Structure 1
């Protein structure tokens, strides 16, 4: 096992999940629930399942498509999203009296 990759993956996911909406949902559920163990186990299971599915799908796609295609599709997707955000008109909210 590559311990460096394991540690790097853990740190990156841990940092990125700190402000995530799933983390905020876990905080809200933990604060209003009497069973903290159930909240922890449910949250951990959901994160593990989502990560597992991401790894399995990513591995499957890597066997179907060449890597330069995947990178090109991702680059095009991010470019389109960025352009839509830059070119979107801001909706004017009428003043309320």
Structure 2
């Protein structure tokens, strides 16, 4: 197995951008703001949590790919993101 830098860069950029400013980063920032807490421990715990969550995503994607076509999974994921975006927009406008 060779390292495909294009895939690595694509996945890294997508996940990095998706994680910036989200509730995970904000929660980590709040834990790190506590003066009594070891910052390296917060970093290690947050990193481990993201690794485990990413592992679950890879496992789920691998298992689903045996039953669902990759293109269909892309459409479903895209539709899911659009529905979440529409829901957030609707709640912002209506509330």
Q: TM-score, normalised by structure 2?
A: 0.72
What does residue range 75-90 of structure 1 map to in structure 2 within 5 Å?
A: none
Report SS of the residue matched to 2:37: coil
Kindly tell me the number of residue pairs found equivalent between the two proteins: 91
Structure showing greater Rg: 1
Offset of 1:16 from its aligned partner? 1.4
**Partner residue in 2 for 1:3:** 5
The CA RMSD measured in Å over matched residues stands at: 2.8
Offset of 1:35 from its aligned partner? 0.5
2: distance between equivalents of 1:51 and 1:45? Answer: 10
**Partner residue in 2 for 1:44:** 47
Unaligned runs of 5+ in 1: 93-97
Given candidates 65, 68, 74, the residue that maps to 1:65 is: 68
Unaligned runs of 5+ in 2: none
2: distance between equivalents of 1:84 and 1:91? Answer: 10
**CA shift in 2, pair 1:37/1:77, >3 Å:** closer
Q: Does 1:24 align with 2:35?
A: no
